[in-house]
Amino acid sequence: MDNDINEDFSGVFMFTNPTKKERKYLWNNKEYIFPPESTVPLIIPTETLENIQEIRKRFAFRMAEERLYEGEVASNGFNYMKAKEEGRGMPPTFDNKILEPWIHECLKPLPIKRASIQKGKELDNEKNYKATKAMGSGLGGQPAEEPTQIFTESENRYAIGAQPDR
What pLDDT digit, counting tens, does each position of 60-88 carry?
999 998 998 888 887 777 777 777 777 77
CA–CA distance, 7 with 131 (Å, rounded to integer): 58
Q: What residue type is 5 in one-letter code?
A: I
CA–CA distance, 35 with 20 (Å, rounded to integer): 9
Closest CA to 14 of 102, 109, 103: 109
> Hey, where are the domains in the chain?
9-122
What pLDDT digit, counting tens, does each position of 30-55 carry?
999 999 998 888 888 889 988 998 99
